[in-house]
Structure 1
Amino acid sequence: MIAPLLATTVFSASVVVAQVNSDSEADLDPADWTEKETGIPVTDKLTIEKCGTCHAPDDKGNLSRISWIRATPEGWSQAIKRMVKLNGLSISPQEARGVVKYLGTWHGLSPEEAKPVMYLTERRILDETIIPNEAVQHGCASCHAFAQPMSSRRSRREWGLLQNLHKALYSQADFQMSQPAEGHPEPEDSAEKPITRGEVALDWLSKEANLHSKTWTDWRPRIRAPKLAGTWVLSGKLRGQGRFVGEMTIAPAGNDFTTTTTLRSLETGQTMTRSGKGLVYAGYSWRGTSNGGTQPARPDAMTGTLRETMWFAPDQSSAEGRWYWGDYHEFGLDMTMTRVTGGPVLAAVAPLGVKTGAKATQLHIYGASLPADLSADDLDFGGGVTVRKVSVLSPSEAVATVDVSPDAIVGLHDVALNGTVLPKALPVYGTVDYMKVTPETALAHLGGIKYGKGYEQFEATAWSKGPDGKTGTDDDFPIMPVDVDWEMKEFPTVTYDNDIKYVGTLDASGFFTPNVEGPNPERRFSRNNYGEVWIVATAKTLKNKDGKPMSAQAYLVTTVPAYKRWDQPEVSQ
């Protein structure tokens, strides 16, 4: 899950935050407000050329509207597409890329601002944890993820103008924002207007997502050309296919980069090679593509083209993100990267999950530059885990034989090689307490005739209740994947709808393939093949406290295709 968004602060007396509460502006349209905040001058010639005709410059180098907004590369790309569609902007794809690269860097977000909303650009589906209250949720996140507005920073006037844009284009947005705000009392005087969701959202965004934040002011002078050339160790996980390790070699190519990547599956031992390219915005935000060179035999195969979205640490020593593909971006590798600088690098440990009391368990350690003379004294797996011997198979793999004390501390242990640490890499457990199916709530899309299908991959994982012995608390931790039997069961919503017959098929690996789109004459009322089902996993060997096979379930909605795609190829990156 994404960590809660940290509030930004106003840091300088020279930046006057616009609080439009005075009688003179309170009832005015935001378009009539006076911009009171200091803008960020636009210095790029191409951006001035393409944008300055409509966005008038001032004597300080500001372009109207643009200088009072900061956004992610995707946010600026959306703005350009909107200008093309609504205002007739003429711009080539190459010019659009140049403008987005400048604005995404010098009118972008700081690393600290971008990281909590990376899930939007990584195309992840998850429960958002950054929404501050119910009024803001209904006012800003009823139609799209809250990460969408939080992927930008604006002056108060610009937040007000953004609300105006939504009201003009989408009647539902006008309705949502004009409703009385949850959590605010109704006015005692019936003649007074209640506080609306839009007003609450405007106040919150003006303070917590303001144009001038301390993290941006700290980051702006630190922005530098990314120096990423070299070798990087990779560690990734793909739901349903397990974990991968490998290496990526990054080479400069003008202002961008080329990549050569080798990945090895820890489940099957199969290796694959990929080649690609990438570029970096704002000194930390990687956007790339790579290809495995062969036509995928299955929709979930990694041999085709992948999009890469990575967040690099400000010191450019490590990165994390997602490599994704699919018509709905439903397939994705959760990936971490660590730069190889000469010293040892740790990437992964396998197998996962060692039980207290286990003897002579062999743990494979994957990484880079592992010393040939690595000894048992050099490794530390935390309290209660004793390293008996070590065999170095190559500079990228070693095998440690360990004993686990019956009294070993239960939880996620670090793996340490002298001063190099791989945090929370080794689950140590006493018992398997329960099982989970992920994703717990899933969405698939019908398709295959005119539209692409949206698939779903389910996975069953064993969990420990952790040191407190209570299920569902913060110290619970995953142990290892579980071998299970899969089946679909009816989710009763409509009498006799028999969704399990129509929504699609579930194979022995937990891979769900949706049915085709369009009316189905075999269904009552010729309904489409949409529906809701339970995805149930039953363990083949794990037993619960009653001696019965452990089981868990997830909720799956299979819906119609996304008939409208919000994209314009002529200005896409």
Structure 2
Amino acid sequence: MYCFSTRQIRLSLLALLLLGSFSSSSLAQRGNRGGGGAQQEAKPIEGLIPVTDPLVVSKCGTCHTADAKGNLTRISAVRTTPEGWEEAIKRMVRLNGLQLSPDDARKILKYLSDSHGLAPEEAAEVQYFAEHRIIDEKFPDAADTRRACASCHAIAKPLSWRRAPEDWDLLKNMHLAYFPSIQNSFGGGPGGGGGGGAQGGAPAAAAAPAGGAPAGPPRTAVDTALAYIKKSAPLTTPEWSAWAPNVSTPKLSGAWTLTGYMPGKGKFFGRTKITETPSGYTTHTELSFLKGGEVTLDGSSLIYTGYAWRGRAKGPAKIEGIDMPSGLREVMMLSKDQTAITGRWFWGVYQEFGMDVTLHRETPAPAVLGTDVYSLKAGVTDAPVTVYGSHLSTSLTPADIDLGKGVTVTKVVSATPDKLTLTASVAADAVPGPRVISVGGVILPSAYAVYKKIDHLKVLPVTSMARLGSEPHAKGYMQFEAIAYTNGPDDKPNTDDDVALGPVPATWAIEEFISAYGDDDVKYVGKIDPATGFFTPGSDGPNPERKSQRNNYGDVWSVARYTPPGETKPLIGKGYFIVTVPQYVQWDQPEVAQ
């Protein structure tokens, strides 16, 4: 580990700020270069996006100077999500003295997101970041990119941007200037990772050509990471070139059917009415959980870049015991044909509570939305099944309804335009796997699954995190689920052909993850409800009852046990679970929905 004196930090900061200043100037007007007095004009940056909005030019153009084509330095060399632009605007206000009224800030954010945004295909790759999902990110290499970038934030954060190669270099310099200790993560040590010597006295790599990858092999972790990011997130892409001319405000007014899933609560169905307003959209939603409980929400939303839905809604103060005092936020994507909107609605201090949501534009034509069952066991007879939809025929017979190969509808108990109540039998030799539902010729793929045996459990989230809290800092909770699986054709667990059978009523506990001698985290991290899998963390701050008066943090296993009907031996699933300290600084961008 490297240590830095205050004087070293100040000198490093000054040098890197000067470097960033010179680099910024080069983006505006590539100066003449050369050695021994010879002058050579550098290659201009390709693909810059001119800024045409007068408000952006007037507010940003003082520092970000324009060239003859209307390109503003830095701004014309980048594209990103609404959250990315909001973070950049906040940084300009906080560090550079930019003064904006709330209305001007909203207009600038809208223009930059529309004209310097991401194409739907680009945004889809990192949508989980804006949706605040807990996932295990995948990295292109075992160590370098994780070390250089993910030591501090998700890799989705840089991959939410598209930049010219020169601007990626400037971003690296900015990190070194603002956060000198990041040189440890970048892999260069003192004086390394920026423009200095290599770590351990190794020879420096050859100088990088303008706008390109290093001429020699990567020297440090950050060089490897930058080479990957430059290749993965260039400024000019076929996707953006095809999408940019089509950015417009979509016409979404009307009725939309709603389907979704909430961990711990299960499936829900409902409807949303969208109304266009001069500033965006208003929404009215009514949904019903199959486990019981109805929720009504009223909200408003905006669309950025022609597809990026950012909204807010308020409803009851609680959803089955879960506090929702300030309402929920909506992050979704509109499909290119404007018939579906998918994403996540979430709330909580750490956005830990949420539901997966899909809206479909309602038409007079019949539609099948889903079923109340997650799976049916081979050999079952006259099992109750409810099919949900819209504008369904009320005179259907069993012959009009197909629940997939090996499954027979034995009776139509009742039929309304929104719901069919059926009974069905499954052949004993039915092949396990997903099934398609067809109602009067209207198809819903992968509506449920058929199985012969539950082979194993998977705890979701597989890896997760909760946060301690008390009066000054709110707690971050966690809802676990146990999902049953049957092995696929390879008859091996935890492979790609496994078939999910839905959540099961497991019994929950937390168990010690042994990471040190005398580990005692289970005693202090918090409590899990044995029936529901809902985890409540302990309090933050030093604990006098713990060795060395440590905080109540720790890592444990979240363990689910479930005995399938007819079996005697329980199935056990485990997930790795970290309970950590509060997040004292929030880097969220909630204003994009306002």
Q: TM-score, normalised by structure 1?
A: 0.88
Report matched runs for 1:111-260 at 5 Å: 111-129=120-138, 131=140, 134-179=143-188, 191=203, 193=205, 195-196=218-219, 197-260=221-284
Task: Return closer, same or farther for 1:486/1:131 CA change in 2, 3 Å cut-off.
Answer: same
In 1, the alpha carbon distance for the partners of 2:373 and 2:202 equals: 67
1:403 aligns with 2:403: no
- Matched residue, 1:535: 558
Gaps of 5+ in 1: 1-17, 19-23, 26-31
In 2, the alpha carbon distance for the partners of 1:320 and 1:365 equals: 21
Task: Return closer, same or farther for 1:130/1:529 CA change in 2, 3 Å cut-off.
Answer: closer
Task: Return closer, same or farther for 1:266/1:257 CA change in 2, 3 Å cut-off.
Answer: same
Task: Return closer, same or farther for 1:391/1:228 CA change in 2, 3 Å cut-off.
Answer: farther
Secondary structure of the 1:245 match is strand
Report matched runs for 1:506-545 at 5 Å: 506-507=528-529, 508-542=531-565
Q: Is the 2:312–2:593 Cα contact (8 Å) retained in structure 1?
A: no
Secondary structure of the 1:561 match is coil
CA shift for structure 1 position 487: 1.9
CA shift for structure 1 position 463: 0.8
CA shift for structure 1 position 172: 4.0
Q: Is the 1:321–1:335 Cα contact (8 Å) retained in structure 2?
A: yes
Aligned partner (choices 444, 451, 465) of residue 466 of structure 2: 444
1:431 aligns with 2:431: no
1:262 aligns with 2:278: no
Aligned partner (choices 347, 354, 359) of residue 337 of structure 1: 359
Secondary structure of the 1:148 match is helix
CA shift for structure 1 position 568: 8.4
Secondary structure of the 1:91 match is coil
Task: Return closer, same or farther for 1:174/1:191 CA change in 2, 3 Å cut-off.
Answer: closer
1:566 aligns with 2:587: yes
CA shift for structure 1 position 191: 4.5
- Matched residue, 1:85: 94
CA shift for structure 1 position 532: 2.2
Secondary structure of the 2:318 match is coil
Gaps of 5+ in 2: 1-26, 28-32, 35-40, 206-216
In 2, the alpha carbon distance for the partners of 1:144 and 1:407 equals: 50
CA shift for structure 1 position 567: 5.7
In 1, the alpha carbon distance for the partners of 2:485 and 2:589 equals: 44
In 1, the alpha carbon distance for the partners of 2:555 and 2:457 equals: 22
CA shift for structure 1 position 571: 9.3
Q: Is the 1:237–1:243 Cα contact (8 Å) retained in structure 2?
A: yes
Q: Is the 1:485–1:540 Cα contact (8 Å) retained in structure 2?
A: no
CA shift for structure 1 position 512: 0.7
- Matched residue, 1:314: 336
Percent sequence identity over matched residues? 43
- Matched residue, 1:37: 46
In 2, the alpha carbon distance for the partners of 1:538 and 1:502 equals: 22
Task: Return closer, same or farther for 1:222/1:157 CA change in 2, 3 Å cut-off.
Answer: same
In 1, the alpha carbon distance for the partners of 2:368 and 2:455 equals: 29
- Matched residue, 2:415: 393
1:69 aligns with 2:90: no
- Matched residue, 1:57: 66
- Matched residue, 2:213: none
Secondary structure of the 2:113 match is helix
In 2, the alpha carbon distance for the partners of 1:504 and 1:129 equals: 30
In 1, the alpha carbon distance for the partners of 2:563 and 2:351 equals: 31
- Matched residue, 1:9: none
Aligned partner (choices 310, 313, 319) of residue 290 of structure 1: 313
Letter paired with 1:75: G
Report matched runs for 1:98-113 at 5 Å: 98-113=107-122
Deviations 1:95-124 (A, max 9, x none): 111111111111100001101110000001
326-335 or 418-427, larger mean C-alpha shift = 418-427
- Matched residue, 1:13: none
What is the root-mean-square deviation in Å for CA atoms of aligned residues? 2.6
In 1, the alpha carbon distance for the partners of 2:321 and 2:473 equals: 14
In 1, the alpha carbon distance for the partners of 2:70 and 2:305 equals: 20
In 1, the alpha carbon distance for the partners of 2:96 and 2:321 equals: 38
CA shift for structure 1 position 500: 2.1
- Matched residue, 2:297: 274
Q: Is the 2:136–2:463 Cα contact (8 Å) retained in structure 1?
A: no
Secondary structure of the 1:334 match is strand
CA shift for structure 1 position 464: 0.6
Q: TM-score, normalised by structure 2?
A: 0.85
Secondary structure of the 2:125 match is helix
Q: Is the 1:505–1:515 Cα contact (8 Å) retained in structure 2?
A: yes
Task: Return closer, same or farther for 1:121/1:281 CA change in 2, 3 Å cut-off.
Answer: same
CA shift for structure 1 position 297: 7.5
Tell me the number of residue pairs that the alignment of Structure 1 and Structure 2 aligns: 536
